[in-house]
Amino acid sequence: MKADFTYDVVVIGAGHAGCEAAHAAARMGARTCLLTMDMGKIAQMSCNPAIGGIAKGQIAREVDALGGLMGIVTDAAAIQFKMLNRSKGPAMWSPRAQCDRMRYSAEMRRRLENTENLHLWQDEAAILKKLDDNFFALETVWGITFRARCVIITAGTFLNGLMHIGRRTVPGGRSADAMSKYLTFSLQTLGLKSARMKTGTPVRIDKRSVRFDELAADVGEEDAHRFSFIGEGRALPSLPCWTCNTTPEVHEVLRRGLPESPLYNGQIQATGPRYCPSIETKIVTFPDRDTHPLFLEPEGVDTNEMYLNGFSSSLPFDVQLEALRKIPAFRDVSLYRPGYAIEYDYFDPTQLRHTLEVKTIDGLFLAGQVNGTTGYEEAAGQGIVAGINAALKCAGSAPFTLQRDEAYIGVLIDDLVTKGVDEPYRMFTSRAEYRILLRQDNADVRLTPYAELHGTATAERISRFHTKARFYREIMEFSHRTTLKPQSVNPYLARIGSVPLSHGTKITDLVSRPEVKLDDLLVASGVFRDLLPAEAGLRAEVLEAAEVEMKYSGYILRERELAEKMKRLEAIRIRGHFDYSALSQLSTEARQKLSAIDPETLAQASRIPGVSPSDISVLLVLMGR
């Protein structure tokens, strides 16, 4: 009997982008296949086993709010949780979890294997062709041909991957993984432009060889916070991370090794992530600094392997080891794996629409590191958008895009398709103009309605979302109309050093004081306890959301007004309206850039580097005509 390899959607690559893409498409009812080179390495964390961090944590929460798996799997695999930037305003709060690398991968695989409409297949995709009947034919190295309406490519760092340690190079998609040999050529044949980027990773250390008394412990938080808006919460015990610093002796060894560094001897030409530099780049870029911080992080509960964050290197292995052994905690260190760098192909993301579909190839989507980004969260955010759009396309429905004021994922994709990339793109809060709107606490309010609409959310997520919304509404209404008397709150205010009340004051006004915590105020004054959910995680979420709204309502309102103004430009659709090359009123640069990007809206046109406000005025006038 012949097996049937016809699908609505085929996703190539089960990394962080591919898993979310395949899961979303399948949940929406598309018959989906996730085709990947090694099923033992699904959602493998190629570098640091951690999810989240500044701005990345917001993206992970957004993926979760959209019905994705990253948050749920992170909660199942987390071995340390922290809310970063707590000392700053809530726009900057960013969750981060250290994860058990193997548990993360196993949990993701378990969930994907149990997703309806989703089939997994281990193989290497080689040749992609568009057939006349609007189907793609995708041939694998084992000679199997898939037919699919939509194909999503999420091949990460694997396309013609070349790894470097010193002068030695080994082809591979990442350590111990074969590279993907044929796909770039096949996509180039379809007309896509590719280029090269590079990234790197540090050594992995055997815990038993570390002198922990020379390190400072860095412990996580034990509160009710978690990554997912649903789910069972964190399952694994919390483990400490550890910190120390490099020394001038370490730098001396590294400096001596520089002539053998592929980054400095001309062997690697591609650009790497500026904000994740190797240790050798740090000592070259900051010659006056004689110390850099290092973080020793556990890789899981069942392993002695530890990750040395901050020590990414592609120097020869003996240089890496000699340098490390100059650090007191690593005097007798024994390593499991060396650090290395990798060069790989990516595709210029300005070739894509906001849906992540290739402008010139109907039904072909690209997501993740292949679009010039770096990071698991950036990959997952693109993956879920590509997956939703592929499923919508198969169903003949309107596409799904996110605006810059709706999600960091919207900012990410708009930046990619509008500005392109010349170095690996990672997300920062500074890339978003509406940071106070795009908080980690309100990702569900912003995005779960889309998950409900498109069918990516489970019944549990929808029910929990509406329950939370009801409690939130009730608390907000109650806080706006309830006045607390001085005698009920003054003891609490005195305890926290806040000015006592001389007359009754509304709860919302009290909470707007920076030092007043809504939860503590409730306990102290004994009011509206019944309005809170019993479940600890949900209760914490409701209180956090309400408190942020009360404390920052002025800022939130101002950003919302700015976003609304910008929406007017976003509403002016210009794709297909102009032959830019014929508009002599525009600057030459604007003509070239507008022709290349072919922006969807006037607002997108205004964000293209090289397109000035006067070029936008010209387009506005022409639109008026």
Ligand X SMILES: Cc1cc2nc3c(=O)[nH]c(=O)nc-3n(C[C@H](O)[C@H](O)[C@H](O)COP(=O)(O)OP(=O)(O)OC[C@H]3O[C@@H](n4cnc5c(N)ncnc54)[C@H](O)[C@@H]3O)c2cc1C
Interface with ligand X, residue 313, by CB under 6 A: no
From the CB of 214, what's the least distance to ligand X, in Å? 25
| SS3 label, residue 315 | coil
Site string for ligand X, 226-265 (x = CB under 6 A): ----------------------------------------
Interface with ligand X, residue 38, by CB under 6 A: yes
Question: How many residues bind to ligand X according to rule CB under 6 A?
Answer: 37
Interface with ligand X, residue 199, by CB under 6 A: yes
Interface with ligand X, residue 154, by CB under 6 A: yes
Select the residue interacting with ligand X from 58, 201, 246, 314 (CB under 6 A): 201
User: Are β-strands 50-52 and 136-140 bridged in parallel, bridged antiparallel, or unpaired?
Assistant: unpaired
Residues 483-542 that bind ligand X (CB under 6 A): none
- Nearer residue to ligand X within complex by CB, 16 or 439: 16
Bridge partners (DSSP) of residue 184 are none
Select the residue interacting with ligand X from 5, 18, 343, 522 (CB under 6 A): 18
DSSP codes of every residue in 45-108: -SS-SEEE-TTHHHHHHHHHHTT-SHHHHHHHHEEEEEEETTTS-TTS-EEEEEE-HHHHHHHH
User: Would residue 528 be called left, alpha or beta, if left means φ above 0 and alpha means ψ between -120 and 50 degrees?
Assistant: left
Interface with ligand X, residue 108, by CB under 6 A: no
Interface with ligand X, residue 156, by CB under 6 A: yes
Bridge partners (DSSP) of residue 445 are none
Taken in order 165, 169, 175, 176, the sign of the CA dihedral is negative
Among the residue ranges 127-135, 151-159, 502-510, 605-613, the one whose residues contact ligand X (CB under 6 A): 151-159
- Nearer residue to ligand X within complex by CB, 352 or 546: 352
CA-based Rg of the chain, rounded to a whole angstrom?
A: 26
- Nearer residue to ligand X within complex by CB, 34 or 489: 34
- Nearer residue to ligand X within complex by CB, 187 or 522: 187
Select the residue interacting with ligand X from 46, 58, 418, 479 (CB under 6 A): 46
Select the residue interacting with ligand X from 33, 47, 394, 436 (CB under 6 A): 47
Interface with ligand X, residue 423, by CB under 6 A: no
Do 200 and 272 contact (CB within 8 A), yes or no?
yes
Interface with ligand X, residue 180, by CB under 6 A: yes
- Nearer residue to ligand X within complex by CB, 94 or 154: 154
Helix axis angle for 443-454 and 56-65, nearest 10°, is 40
Interface with ligand X, residue 183, by CB under 6 A: yes
Interface with ligand X, residue 282, by CB under 6 A: no
Among the residue ranges 92-100, 173-181, 190-198, 389-397, the one whose residues contact ligand X (CB under 6 A): 173-181
Backbone phi and psi for residue 271, each to the nearest 5 degrees, phi listed first = -85, 140
Interface with ligand X, residue 93, by CB under 6 A: no
Taken in order 616, 621, 622, 624, the sign of the CA dihedral is positive
- Nearer residue to ligand X within complex by CB, 185 or 555: 185
Taken in order 517, 519, 524, 529, the sign of the CA dihedral is positive
Interface with ligand X, residue 272, by CB under 6 A: no
Burial (Cβ within 10 Å: 0-12, 13-18, ≥19) of residue 603: buried
Residues 328-367 that bind ligand X (CB under 6 A): 342
Q: Which run of H or of E encompasses 453?
A: helix 443-454
How open is the CA angle 206-208-214, to the nearest 5 degrees? 100
Q: CB neighbours (10 Å) of residue 614?
A: 11
What is the spatial distance between Cα 40 and Cα 321, in angstroms, rounded to a whole number?
30
Interface with ligand X, residue 155, by CB under 6 A: yes
State the maximum Cα–Cα separation within the chain, in Å, rounded to a whole number.
85
Bridge partners (DSSP) of residue 216 are 243
Burial (Cβ within 10 Å: 0-12, 13-18, ≥19) of residue 584: exposed
- Tokens in use for 589? 């640069």
- Nearer residue to ligand X within complex by CB, 129 or 577: 129
Among the residue ranges 208-216, 217-225, 319-327, 372-380, the one whose residues contact ligand X (CB under 6 A): 372-380
Q: For residue 63, which of 463, 379, 501 has the smallest C-alpha distance?
A: 379
- Tokens in use for 277? 């530099």
- Nearer residue to ligand X within complex by CB, 157 or 525: 157
Select the residue interacting with ligand X from 66, 192, 276, 296 (CB under 6 A): 276
Task: Please name the residues in contact with 517: beta carbons below 8 A apart, sequence gap of 6 or more.
Answer: 547
Select the residue interacting with ligand X from 22, 33, 35, 162 (CB under 6 A): 35
Select the residue interacting with ligand X from 9, 10, 11, 12 (CB under 6 A): 12
Select the residue interacting with ligand X from 57, 298, 375, 537 (CB under 6 A): 375
Q: CB neighbours (10 Å) of residue 480?
A: 12
- Nearer residue to ligand X within complex by CB, 158 or 492: 158
- Tokens in use for 302? 């069942």
From the CB of 143, what's the least distance to ligand X, in Å? 14
From the CB of 316, what's the least distance to ligand X, in Å? 17
- Nearer residue to ligand X within complex by CB, 343 or 544: 343
Among the residue ranges 37-45, 84-92, 572-580, 597-605, the one whose residues contact ligand X (CB under 6 A): 37-45
Residues 590-619 that bind ligand X (CB under 6 A): none
Interface with ligand X, residue 309, by CB under 6 A: no
From the CB of 201, what's the least distance to ligand X, in Å? 4
Burial (Cβ within 10 Å: 0-12, 13-18, ≥19) of residue 332: exposed
List contacts with ligand X (CB under 6 A): 12-18, 35-38, 41, 46-47, 124-125, 154-158, 173-174, 180, 183, 199-201, 276, 342, 368-369, 374-376, 379, 426
